[in-house]
Amino acid sequence: EAQVTQNPRYLITVTGKKLTVTCSQNMNHEYMSWYRQDPGLGLRQIYYSMNVEVTDKGDVPEGYKVSRKEKRNFPLILESPSPNQTSLYFCASSSRSGVKTQYFGPGTRLLVL
């Protein structure tokens, strides 16, 4: 089954404790992206990757890091989480060719205390 998976699905942590949210896709997609979704602000793009070892900032990259060492994986790293990073996070992937139809993962709900 073609899918995007994220782990963990729910996470409660404390300020300053480094964490990683994993994202994996099995569709051989070149393009992958991370979003956060907040009430009243909608979905905002954090980082995206056009292919292995190619990443770029989206609209709200501050406080986040990403890496793309393998085509299927695109982890999101919060080196020192803060309460304003409490949010619902989505990973998405798409083929790079043509119109980018994005397929979203199930989401990770993060609470930073």
Residue ranges in contact with another protein by CB under 8 A: 31, 33, 35, 40-45, 48, 50, 56, 58-59, 90, 99-107
Please identify, using beta-carbon distances, which residue of 45 and 67 lies nearer to another protein. Answer: 45
Minimum gap (Å) between residue 17 Cβ and another protein: 26
What ranges make up the beta strands (E) of 15-86? Answer: 19-25, 31-38, 42-51, 54-57, 65-66, 76-78
- How many CB atoms lie under 10 A from the CB of residue 9? 12
Please identify, using beta-carbon distances, which residue of 85 and 108 lies nearer to another protein. Answer: 108
Percent helix, percent strand, percent coil in the chain, to nearest 5: 5, 50, 45
Which residue type, as a one-letter code, is found at position 23?
A: C
Please identify, using beta-carbon distances, which residue of 16 and 106 lies nearer to another protein. Answer: 106
Minimum gap (Å) between residue 80 Cβ and another protein: 26
Please identify, using beta-carbon distances, which residue of 44 and 72 lies nearer to another protein. Answer: 44
Minimum gap (Å) between residue 90 Cβ and another protein: 6
Residue with tokens 């304003």: 84
